[in-house]
Amino acid sequence: MPLFFVLLWSSGFIVAKFGLPYAPPLTFLVMRFLGVLLLLVPAVLVLRAPWPHGKIRHIALAGVLVQAGYLIGVWCAIKQGMPAGLSALIVGMQPILTAFAAPLIGEKVRPRQWLGLVFGIGGVALVVAAKIKLTGLSAEAIALCVLALVSITVGTMYQKRHCPQFDLRTGTVIQFAASTVVVLPLAIIFEGLTADFAAVRWTPQFVGALAWSVLGLSIGAIFVLFALIRRSDATQVTSLMYLTPPTTAIMAWLMFGEAFNALGIVGMALAVTGVFFVVSKNKPT
Protein backbone atom coordinates (compact mmCIF):
# COMPACT_ATOMS: atom_id res chain seq x y z
CA MET A 1 0.00 0.00 0.00
CA PRO A 2 2.76 2.59 0.76
CA LEU A 3 4.44 1.89 -2.60
CA PHE A 4 1.13 2.23 -4.41
CA PHE A 5 0.50 5.54 -2.64
CA VAL A 6 3.93 6.91 -3.61
CA LEU A 7 3.36 6.03 -7.27
CA LEU A 8 -0.06 7.68 -7.33
CA TRP A 9 0.96 10.78 -5.37
CA SER A 10 4.11 11.29 -7.46
CA SER A 11 2.06 11.49 -10.64
CA GLY A 12 0.53 14.77 -9.42
CA PHE A 13 3.37 16.88 -10.81
CA ILE A 14 3.11 15.04 -14.14
CA VAL A 15 -0.61 15.84 -14.25
CA ALA A 16 0.16 19.50 -13.58
CA LYS A 17 2.62 19.53 -16.48
CA PHE A 18 -0.08 18.12 -18.78
CA GLY A 19 -3.10 20.06 -17.55
CA LEU A 20 -2.10 23.56 -16.44
CA PRO A 21 -1.26 24.87 -19.94
CA TYR A 22 -4.94 24.44 -20.86
CA ALA A 23 -6.80 25.75 -17.79
CA PRO A 24 -6.25 28.20 -14.92
CA PRO A 25 -5.23 26.35 -11.73
CA LEU A 26 -8.28 27.16 -9.58
CA THR A 27 -10.64 26.36 -12.46
CA PHE A 28 -8.89 23.02 -12.93
CA LEU A 29 -9.28 22.25 -9.23
CA VAL A 30 -13.00 23.10 -9.28
CA MET A 31 -13.49 20.69 -12.18
CA ARG A 32 -11.43 18.06 -10.40
CA PHE A 33 -13.44 18.33 -7.18
CA LEU A 34 -16.77 18.32 -9.01
CA GLY A 35 -15.67 15.24 -10.95
CA VAL A 36 -15.00 13.40 -7.71
CA LEU A 37 -18.44 14.34 -6.35
CA LEU A 38 -20.20 13.32 -9.57
CA LEU A 39 -18.66 9.85 -9.26
CA LEU A 40 -18.84 9.27 -5.52
CA VAL A 41 -22.21 10.77 -4.54
CA PRO A 42 -24.26 8.30 -6.67
CA ALA A 43 -22.06 5.43 -5.47
CA VAL A 44 -22.58 6.44 -1.84
CA LEU A 45 -26.34 6.62 -2.32
CA VAL A 46 -26.57 3.29 -4.15
CA LEU A 47 -24.32 1.47 -1.67
CA ARG A 48 -25.96 3.21 1.31
CA ALA A 49 -22.57 3.97 2.79
CA PRO A 50 -22.79 5.13 6.42
CA TRP A 51 -22.39 8.84 7.13
CA PRO A 52 -20.22 9.79 10.11
CA HIS A 53 -21.95 11.07 13.23
CA GLY A 54 -20.38 13.87 15.22
CA LYS A 55 -17.32 14.06 12.97
CA ILE A 56 -18.56 15.84 9.85
CA ARG A 57 -17.10 19.21 10.88
CA HIS A 58 -13.70 17.67 11.65
CA ILE A 59 -13.66 15.67 8.41
CA ALA A 60 -14.61 18.74 6.37
CA LEU A 61 -11.89 20.91 7.92
CA ALA A 62 -9.25 18.22 7.41
CA GLY A 63 -10.37 17.97 3.78
CA VAL A 64 -10.10 21.70 3.20
CA LEU A 65 -6.53 21.66 4.54
CA VAL A 66 -5.34 18.49 2.77
CA GLN A 67 -7.17 19.13 -0.51
CA ALA A 68 -7.96 22.79 -1.08
CA GLY A 69 -5.10 24.40 0.83
CA TYR A 70 -2.42 22.04 -0.43
CA LEU A 71 -3.51 21.96 -4.08
CA ILE A 72 -4.18 25.70 -4.32
CA GLY A 73 -0.66 26.37 -3.08
CA VAL A 74 1.19 23.87 -5.29
CA TRP A 75 -0.79 24.36 -8.51
CA CYS A 76 -0.83 28.16 -8.34
CA ALA A 77 2.89 28.22 -7.54
CA ILE A 78 3.71 26.02 -10.55
CA LYS A 79 1.46 28.16 -12.75
CA GLN A 80 3.45 31.22 -11.68
CA GLY A 81 6.74 29.66 -12.71
CA MET A 82 7.81 27.73 -9.63
CA PRO A 83 10.01 24.83 -10.84
CA ALA A 84 8.47 21.47 -10.02
CA GLY A 85 11.73 20.41 -8.36
CA LEU A 86 11.77 23.36 -5.99
CA SER A 87 8.09 22.99 -5.14
CA ALA A 88 8.70 19.31 -4.41
CA LEU A 89 11.61 20.22 -2.14
CA ILE A 90 9.55 22.77 -0.17
CA VAL A 91 6.58 20.44 0.23
CA GLY A 92 9.06 17.67 1.03
CA MET A 93 9.72 19.37 4.36
CA GLN A 94 6.39 17.97 5.59
CA PRO A 95 7.87 14.98 7.46
CA ILE A 96 10.17 17.27 9.43
CA LEU A 97 7.30 19.58 10.43
CA THR A 98 5.16 16.59 11.34
CA ALA A 99 7.92 15.14 13.51
CA PHE A 100 8.35 18.39 15.45
CA ALA A 101 4.60 18.59 16.03
CA ALA A 102 4.11 14.85 16.77
CA PRO A 103 3.86 15.35 20.57
CA LEU A 104 0.75 17.46 19.99
CA ILE A 105 -1.11 14.34 18.85
CA GLY A 106 0.46 12.00 21.38
CA GLU A 107 3.13 10.50 19.14
CA LYS A 108 6.82 10.13 19.95
CA VAL A 109 9.60 10.32 17.37
CA ARG A 110 12.48 7.96 18.16
CA PRO A 111 16.16 8.87 17.51
CA ARG A 112 16.26 6.32 14.67
CA GLN A 113 13.33 8.10 13.03
CA TRP A 114 14.98 11.53 13.41
CA LEU A 115 18.01 10.12 11.60
CA GLY A 116 15.74 8.85 8.86
CA LEU A 117 14.04 12.23 8.53
CA VAL A 118 17.41 13.94 8.08
CA PHE A 119 18.49 11.35 5.48
CA GLY A 120 15.20 11.79 3.68
CA ILE A 121 15.37 15.57 3.30
CA GLY A 122 19.01 15.27 2.23
CA GLY A 123 18.05 12.74 -0.43
CA VAL A 124 15.22 14.92 -1.72
CA ALA A 125 17.59 17.89 -1.94
CA LEU A 126 20.08 15.88 -4.03
CA VAL A 127 17.37 14.64 -6.39
CA VAL A 128 16.02 18.09 -7.19
CA ALA A 129 19.30 20.06 -6.89
CA ALA A 130 20.02 20.00 -10.61
CA LYS A 131 16.49 21.13 -11.44
CA ILE A 132 16.28 24.14 -9.12
CA LYS A 133 16.48 27.52 -10.82
CA LEU A 134 15.87 30.64 -8.77
CA THR A 135 16.06 33.14 -11.62
CA GLY A 136 12.81 35.08 -11.93
CA LEU A 137 11.22 33.25 -9.01
CA SER A 138 8.69 35.45 -7.21
CA ALA A 139 8.13 35.74 -3.49
CA GLU A 140 4.45 35.04 -4.13
CA ALA A 141 5.23 31.65 -5.69
CA ILE A 142 7.41 30.71 -2.72
CA ALA A 143 4.69 31.82 -0.30
CA LEU A 144 2.11 29.69 -2.13
CA CYS A 145 4.33 26.62 -1.84
CA VAL A 146 4.90 27.25 1.86
CA LEU A 147 1.12 27.59 2.25
CA ALA A 148 0.74 24.17 0.65
CA LEU A 149 3.34 22.69 3.00
CA VAL A 150 1.72 24.08 6.14
CA SER A 151 -1.78 23.20 4.98
CA ILE A 152 -1.17 19.52 4.24
CA THR A 153 0.94 19.09 7.39
CA VAL A 154 -1.71 20.61 9.66
CA GLY A 155 -4.48 18.77 7.80
CA THR A 156 -2.81 15.37 8.14
CA MET A 157 -2.22 15.83 11.85
CA TYR A 158 -5.70 17.25 12.44
CA GLN A 159 -7.28 14.23 10.77
CA LYS A 160 -5.05 11.83 12.70
CA ARG A 161 -6.09 13.45 15.99
CA HIS A 162 -9.78 14.23 15.49
CA CYS A 163 -11.16 11.87 12.83
CA PRO A 164 -8.80 9.01 11.91
CA GLN A 165 -11.69 6.54 11.49
CA PHE A 166 -14.55 7.09 9.06
CA ASP A 167 -16.09 5.49 5.99
CA LEU A 168 -13.79 6.40 3.12
CA ARG A 169 -16.65 6.85 0.65
CA THR A 170 -18.79 9.29 2.61
CA GLY A 171 -15.76 10.93 4.23
CA THR A 172 -14.26 11.69 0.82
CA VAL A 173 -17.56 13.18 -0.35
CA ILE A 174 -17.60 15.47 2.70
CA GLN A 175 -14.01 16.56 2.16
CA PHE A 176 -14.35 17.35 -1.52
CA ALA A 177 -17.69 19.09 -1.04
CA ALA A 178 -16.07 21.34 1.59
CA SER A 179 -13.07 21.94 -0.68
CA THR A 180 -15.37 22.89 -3.56
CA VAL A 181 -17.11 25.46 -1.35
CA VAL A 182 -13.71 27.03 -0.65
CA VAL A 183 -12.19 26.92 -4.15
CA LEU A 184 -15.25 27.80 -6.26
CA PRO A 185 -15.62 31.44 -5.13
CA LEU A 186 -11.87 31.94 -5.46
CA ALA A 187 -11.98 30.70 -9.05
CA ILE A 188 -14.89 33.04 -9.82
CA ILE A 189 -13.19 36.06 -8.25
CA PHE A 190 -9.61 35.60 -9.44
CA GLU A 191 -10.03 33.66 -12.71
CA GLY A 192 -13.47 34.77 -13.90
CA LEU A 193 -14.80 31.20 -13.86
CA THR A 194 -18.07 30.86 -15.79
CA ALA A 195 -20.65 28.08 -15.88
CA ASP A 196 -19.47 26.96 -19.34
CA PHE A 197 -15.79 26.86 -18.31
CA ALA A 198 -14.92 29.23 -21.14
CA ALA A 199 -11.29 29.56 -20.04
CA VAL A 200 -10.62 25.85 -20.59
CA ARG A 201 -9.11 24.47 -23.80
CA TRP A 202 -10.47 20.95 -24.21
CA THR A 203 -7.42 19.22 -25.63
CA PRO A 204 -6.77 15.48 -25.30
CA GLN A 205 -3.94 16.30 -22.88
CA PHE A 206 -6.27 18.32 -20.66
CA VAL A 207 -9.00 15.67 -20.68
CA GLY A 208 -6.48 12.98 -19.79
CA ALA A 209 -4.97 15.10 -17.02
CA LEU A 210 -8.41 15.86 -15.58
CA ALA A 211 -9.51 12.22 -15.70
CA TRP A 212 -6.36 11.05 -13.93
CA SER A 213 -6.67 13.86 -11.37
CA VAL A 214 -10.16 12.66 -10.48
CA LEU A 215 -9.65 8.89 -10.60
CA GLY A 216 -5.98 8.34 -9.84
CA LEU A 217 -5.25 11.22 -7.47
CA SER A 218 -8.40 12.53 -5.80
CA ILE A 219 -9.99 9.10 -5.39
CA GLY A 220 -7.18 6.54 -5.62
CA ALA A 221 -4.34 8.33 -3.85
CA ILE A 222 -6.58 9.95 -1.23
CA PHE A 223 -8.29 6.65 -0.35
CA VAL A 224 -4.88 5.06 0.18
CA LEU A 225 -3.64 8.09 2.18
CA PHE A 226 -6.65 7.90 4.50
CA ALA A 227 -6.09 4.18 4.99
CA LEU A 228 -2.44 4.82 5.90
CA ILE A 229 -3.39 7.61 8.33
CA ARG A 230 -5.86 5.23 9.96
CA ARG A 231 -3.31 2.51 10.67
CA SER A 232 0.04 4.31 11.06
CA ASP A 233 1.67 7.17 12.96
CA ALA A 234 1.54 10.55 11.23
CA THR A 235 5.34 10.71 11.08
CA GLN A 236 5.50 7.35 9.31
CA VAL A 237 2.85 8.36 6.77
CA THR A 238 4.36 11.73 5.93
CA SER A 239 7.85 10.23 5.58
CA LEU A 240 6.59 8.61 2.37
CA MET A 241 6.50 12.12 0.89
CA TYR A 242 10.31 11.89 0.71
CA LEU A 243 9.89 9.32 -2.06
CA THR A 244 7.69 11.61 -4.16
CA PRO A 245 10.39 13.85 -5.74
CA PRO A 246 12.64 10.90 -6.75
CA THR A 247 9.69 8.99 -8.18
CA THR A 248 8.46 12.10 -10.00
CA ALA A 249 11.95 12.63 -11.41
CA ILE A 250 11.96 9.09 -12.84
CA MET A 251 8.49 9.63 -14.34
CA ALA A 252 9.59 12.93 -15.92
CA TRP A 253 12.70 11.22 -17.31
CA LEU A 254 10.65 8.43 -18.87
CA MET A 255 7.81 10.62 -20.20
CA PHE A 256 9.51 13.92 -21.06
CA GLY A 257 13.19 13.06 -21.32
CA GLU A 258 14.12 15.32 -18.41
CA ALA A 259 17.66 14.92 -17.10
CA PHE A 260 18.23 12.43 -14.30
CA ASN A 261 21.89 12.19 -13.31
CA ALA A 262 24.07 10.20 -10.91
CA LEU A 263 23.49 12.75 -8.15
CA GLY A 264 19.77 12.05 -8.42
CA ILE A 265 20.38 8.31 -8.07
CA VAL A 266 22.40 8.89 -4.90
CA GLY A 267 19.62 11.13 -3.60
CA MET A 268 17.04 8.42 -4.29
CA ALA A 269 19.04 5.87 -2.33
CA LEU A 270 19.41 8.31 0.58
CA ALA A 271 15.68 9.12 0.58
CA VAL A 272 14.73 5.43 0.54
CA THR A 273 17.14 4.77 3.43
CA GLY A 274 15.58 7.64 5.38
CA VAL A 275 12.06 6.31 4.89
CA PHE A 276 13.21 2.84 5.98
CA PHE A 277 14.53 4.28 9.24
CA VAL A 278 11.30 6.18 9.88
CA VAL A 279 8.85 3.36 9.20
CA SER A 280 10.95 0.59 10.75
CA LYS A 281 9.19 -1.06 13.69
CA ASN A 282 12.43 -1.90 15.45
CA LYS A 283 12.72 -0.08 18.75
CA PRO A 284 16.03 1.41 19.85
CA THR A 285 17.95 -0.55 22.49
Query: Mind listing the pLDDT tens digit for each residue in 61-97?
Result: 999 999 999 999 989 988 887 776 667 767 877 777 7
CA gap 243, 272 in Å, rounded: 7
In the chain, what percentage of residues exceed pLDDT 90? Answer: 40
Question: Tell me: the pLDDT tens digits for 135-177?
Answer: 556 788 888 988 998 999 999 889 988 988 889 899 999 999 9
> What is the DSSP secondary structure assignment for residue 161, as one 8-state letter?
H
Lowest mean pLDDT among 35-39, 162-166, 225-229: 225-229
What is the model's pTM?
0.82
Comparing 24 with 258, the larger pLDDT belongs to: 24
Q: Give residue 264's pLDDT.
A: 67
How far apart CA 74 and CA 80 sit, in angstroms, is 10
Q: Is the pLDDT of residue 284 over 50?
A: no
What gap in Å lies between CA 29 and CA 184, rounded to an integer? Answer: 9
Cβ(233)–Cβ(95) under 8 Å? no
User: What is the pLDDT, as a whole number, of residue 281?
Assistant: 52
Residue 282: per-residue pLDDT: 46
